[in-house]
Amino acid sequence: MLKPQLHQTSQSIKTLIPWSTTKSFVSGEILASFPINILNKNLRQKKNFRVHYYAANSTKAVLSSTEKSTSVKAVVTVQKTVGGTNLALTRGLDDIGDLLGKTLLLEIVADELDPKAGTEKPSIKTFAHRGRDVDGDTHYEADFVIPENFGEVGAVLVENEHHKEMYVKNIVIDGFPHGIVHITCNSWVHSKFDNPEKRIFFTNKSYLPSQTPSAIKRLRERELVIMRGDGFGQRKQFERVYDYDVYNDIGDPDASDDTKRPVLGGKEFPYPRRCKSGGPRSEKDPLSESKSTFAYVPRDEAFSELKDLSFRGNTLYSVLHAVVPALKSAINTDDGFPHFPAIDSLFNVGVDLSPLNDKSSLLNIIPRLIKAISNTRKGVLLFETPELLQRDKFSWFKDVEFARQTLAGLNPYSIRLVTEWPLKSKLDPEIYGPPESAITKELIELEIAGFMTVEEAVKQKKLFILDYHDLLLPYVNKVNELKGSVVYGSRTLFFLTPDGTLRPLAIELTRPPVCDKPQWKQVYCPTWHATGSWLWKLAKAHVLAHDSGYHQLVSHWLRTHCATEPYIIATNRQLSSMHPIYRLLHPHFRYTMEINAIARDALINANGIIESSFFPGKYAMELSSVAYDLEWRFDRQALPEDLISRGMAVKDPNAPYGLKLTIEDYPFANDGLVLWDTLKQWVTDYVNHYYTETELIKSDTELQAWWTEIKDVGHGDKKDEPWWPELKTPDDLIGIITTIVWVTSGHHAAVNFGQYSYAGYFPNRPTTARAKMPTEDPTDEEWENFLKKPEDALLQCFPSQIQATTVMAVLDVLSNHSPDEEYLGEKIEPYWAEDPVINAAFEKFSGRLKELEGIIDGRNADCNLMNRNGAGVVPYELLKPFSGPGVTGKGVPYSISI
């Protein structure tokens, strides 16, 4: 082996290594790795020599006696695939590349320009060769000799020489006088054979645009150009392009007229935008995309392998592609349950899947749901007993629980204060009939006899309402034409009792005029009379179906998943990955685009789970568009503003968090305000560290473009609304960011992770009503049958067996925490840890979240708080920050990851 000779005079490296003249190297190539390593070894810690490697766009490699140099080592951590390594499926050429030390081409870029020439300093390139495996990852190592005047590292460019992508976790460069350089990547690096563009990774130090080191300004701009794409063509799986499109992929018009759906987004059906995939258009409807087996999301938005395996192996994918078909084959009927013991049997006997040919695969796919498979391979799908049912089998039957769950249940976002009397519809009476409510003053005063008049109750803030009247009434006749679906416009009135609990007073159900029939409306109240008591139970079932549909379509899907996707797109298009606000927001966007893509494919799509099992049926997504148009405002996504807008709180500088709650024992609001304040303080500390003066907000071109794009494009159908916050001061930014991170964390946790606990026993929260009220234009036979066996009327109103079991399986999935879930404040991001001020702020943030755990435990143990404590009552834990994996009914992840 040749040993390099060191000379004091300038000399071409060709003289040192003669065979370097035998061929000209292709772009990015250097000499075989072992001579270079020997050269580096001899030069390590030497001071009077300088090495320039032969590489594209680099200067001629020379040794100079006039400049000092430093030898540094770079270690790239690459995550192994589940099969073993990233090479498991691509042996051959890629293995040879590894053996030759040609796996990853690294190019170190200085952060500042050459002060004399005013140009970028030559970058330094070399290949990283495969090293050892550490903690399940593979290390790739590279040695560099860095001239003394190189300065600090601004970025590293990476080219993947393999034919298959690699997941690069981080790059660590050791040996610089100023310390170790950390570069957090956590990104898929495409093969150069798919795309010759090198990946850009910046160091962990964050910069505002105006503070960007001079030599990496061009790379900062280039990165954003790549992320935006050119707006043309169909996206490929390895790409990281973020662009906007309307919801034109929910229907499948080419399959049949029955699966055609309107495009959401635009003047007729306003809606947030989704990520553009650029797929081909439908032949029958040019406004829609044709159905595809590939749902594009930018590559780094896809699930990690651990999440993907857990998700596909234990949750939604498995339920949609294995369990639902299995249930349809096993049940094969649209009938309801014949009696209540048949419902109970789902938890103690199970669903017989014996008609299936392959049941063993289901055992591997969904171990949580499959509780037993007998020796004869007779498959049994046995559901876990929800906590609600474990604590009180009859709680769903009780009015006190019906009312309590409006404050401490799955959908605490709909209850609002009654501020005007009498109740009156705002819809056109020429179309929908008389606007006056049938809930009269006399009826209410009879129900609250001895307490106060209606006027006094309104004035003293004692009346509350679930009001789905005007939202649903325009859809009543259309939905009622669908098979097995009945809906009404509804109002449900509650009275706040002296002990702080709500008491249901009345339910009004309304059907607009149809054909030759006039408007029909009727009021039902709790009563000791047998007939009235059963009618009340049926009315509650209808209202609960309305609340379940609104919860899933609006409180959950629209306000968290759907509204957040434009924030993610704008953040990646307009904020550089070195921008401090990008790095603050990034954990809050993890996996959201992937779960949204899965939802469009199998949950909210035409004839998907939502349409087939929830009351709006084929009009479900259209209804969510109407709700977006009528109700969604960015400013009211902030928890304090949401509570104020619903009359559930008023501003009070003397009250905790500046708000006085209208109902003091409102578990969601009580816990939520602590979490909101904790998030806001963390965001405040973070923002004020980087924006020390107002002018920095105004001059931040990336930040201003980000906020403009969210308003004008991502939520472009509402761009002219006057309620959009301005972005001129640090306080403006704090309010905007806190709202976004609350939606992705606290709001989503409150409406998502309790789904199986509260709705796993579906009589507590039926998702649809299949039968009209017995009092709506009954025939003599219908009325007689109701009087003889009212229980049958309730069972016929509940979802069918296939609807109920399908939803139960899906809700089990949606309530599930992945093993790699990232909870608020649990683990610091590397970018934050390197800054002492941000590190200290995060420690304070994490500490306050741990305090919240104790606060919630204390509140749940307080017998005076009857909306969260009592015999058989499920304690309110949905906003407890931390949780283990599985269905736990608690835990607040950073992001909408399920």
Give catalytic residues, as residue numbers. 556, 561, 748, 752, 898
Phi and psi at 56, nearest 5°, equal: -60, 135
Which amino acid is present at 400? Answer: V
For the chain, how many residues are written? 898
Residue 746 has which token pair?
A: 């606290």
Distances (CA, A) of 278 to 255, 352, 565: 20, 43, 17
CA–CA–CA angle 451, 452, 454 (5° rounding): 130
Are the C-beta atoms of 484 and 612 separated by less than 8 Å?
Answer: no
- Among residues 350, 356, 357, 364, the alpha carbon closest in space to that of 326 is found at 356
Distances (CA, A) of 615 to 71, 470, 554, 631, 632: 68, 16, 13, 20, 21
What is the pairing mode between strands 351-352 and 199-202? Answer: unpaired
Burial class (CB in 10 A: 0-12, 13-18, 19+), 722: exposed
Q: Is the dihedral of CA 252, 257, 259, 265 positive or negative?
A: positive
CA 739 to chain centre: 14
766: left (phi over 0), alpha (psi -120 to 50) or beta: beta
- Residue 855 to residue 388: CA distance in whole angstroms: 22
Residue 887 has which token pair?
A: 């269905």
Secondary structure (H, E, C), 639-657: HHHHHHHCCCEEECCCCHH
DSSP designation for 56: T
In sequence order, the 6+-apart residues with CB closer than 8 A to the CB of 351 are 327, 330, 331, 380, 381, 382, 805
- Residue 686 to residue 342: CA distance in whole angstroms: 55
Q: How many CA atoms lie within 13 A of 718 on its CB side?
A: 26
- Residue 72 to residue 59: CA distance in whole angstroms: 19
CA 777 to chain centre: 45
Are the C-beta atoms of 107 and 125 separated by less than 8 Å?
Answer: yes
Q: How many CA atoms lie within 13 A of 282 on its CB side?
A: 23
In sequence order, the 6+-apart residues with CB closer than 8 A to the CB of 631 are 554
Distances (CA, A) of 720 to 122, 715, 716: 48, 10, 8
| Helix, strand, coil abundance in the chain, percent, nearest 5 | 40, 15, 45
In sequence order, the 6+-apart residues with CB closer than 8 A to the CB of 272 are 265, 562, 563, 565, 566, 628, 714, 715
Rg (CA), the chain: 31
- Residue 263 to residue 657: CA distance in whole angstroms: 42
**Cβ neighbours, 10 Å, residue 635:** 15
- Among residues 802, 774, 800, 260, the alpha carbon closest in space to that of 485 is found at 800
Residue 383 has which token pair?
A: 């559901």
Distances (CA, A) of 237 to 158, 295, 418, 872: 19, 9, 51, 50
Are the C-beta atoms of 307 and 818 separated by less than 8 Å?
Answer: yes
- Residue 551 to residue 544: CA distance in whole angstroms: 10
- Residue 603 to residue 447: CA distance in whole angstroms: 42
